[in-house]
Amino acid sequence: MRLLVTGAAGMLGTDVVAAAAGHEVIALARADLDVTDPPAVSAAVARARPDAVIHCAAWTDVDGAEAAEAAATAVNRAGAGHVAAAAAQAGAHVVHVSSDYVFDGRANEPYTEASVTGPLSAYGRSKVAGEHAVAEAAPGAHAIVRSSWLFGLHGRNFVDTMLRLGSERDKVTVVDDQVGCPTYTGHLAPALVRIAGERLTGVMHVAGGGGCSWWELARATFDRSGMDCAVRRGSTAELGRPAPRPAFSVLRSTRADAPRLPFWREGLDAHLAARGVLVA
């Protein structure tokens, strides 16, 4: 498979490129391709002649989007649409990565592909708009993959922040009123490559198995890395972040063909092992 990866220098994109070893990969980082520039996107995809495109490029600053919604939407909606349109023009299948933030978090059971979206934040609105743009630009030739709470070796993330804070402090406060599915990019990346190779279509939820709160993830991080750092339970209100977060955003798939990722604790262990801090 000839595979084009956008956002190839990001946390997820780097792992996607690695997971695609054995395929012919064209890796385009943000410095290589501005997805908000339609002619540049069209030219890059036409030049690459891919069989599939995995679109990892995105605006990921959730709080920053509250003050810059137009800029976030330019990347997450318009940019996604440009990539999907160029892929369709080239006859390529497009795999678009979306987010649990498309939901309002008021559910009391896991969100499935059939669940109604209702984003609370500017970032969430931009991601829903991106899903629509991809579906419109590449009808019948796209997969929209929603995942959540990503962490990996090649970008800033919650787990690594906890490792840093645990080495500096003896106590941290972490919110326990947000519940989601921590997802290791080392597990998500090969699933995206598989989706591209099999040309699966439509919306699918692909995230770490199970679910937990940020507080539970912090506790598990310290326990599994052997760090002696106490974790105080906090609330989202205490944190005072600009963007509202869904209180509950556990994702599940009802599709038989959707990849199933390992339980989130397995992803955490894999990440900590790769960092060299996992306690056996």
The pTM assigned to this predicted structure is 0.97
Contact 81, 133 (CB under 8 A): yes
Query: pLDDT tens string for the chain (280 positions)?
Result: 999 999 999 999 999 999 999 999 999 999 999 999 999 999 999 999 999 999 999 999 999 999 999 999 999 999 999 999 999 999 999 999 999 999 999 999 999 999 999 999 999 999 999 999 999 999 999 999 999 999 999 999 999 999 999 999 999 999 999 999 999 999 999 999 999 999 999 999 999 999 999 999 999 999 999 999 999 999 999 988 999 999 999 999 999 999 999 999 999 999 999 999 999 6
Predicted local distance difference test score (pLDDT) of residue 277:
97
* Cβ proximity of 148 and 251 under 8 Å: yes
Give dist(CA 24, CA 268) in Å, integer: 30
For the chain, the 3-state helix, strand and coil shares in percent, each to the nearest 5, are 45, 20, 35
The residues that bridge with 179 in the sheet, in sequence order, are 213, 248
Query: Active-site residue 123, yes or no?
Result: yes
211 touches 179 (CB < 8 A): yes
Is residue 264 a contact partner of residue 158, using CB atoms and an 8 Å limit? no
Q: Residue 123: enclosing H or E segment and its boundaries?
A: helix 122-137
Question: Of residues 101, 111, 123, 184, which has the active-site annotation?
Answer: 123
Per residue, the 3-state secondary structure of 259-275, as one string, reads CCCCEHHHHHHHHHHHH
Q: What pLDDT does residue 109 have?
A: 96
Domains along the sequence of the chain with CATH: 2-157+182-209+250-261 (3.40.50.720)
**Residue 22 confidence (pLDDT):** 92
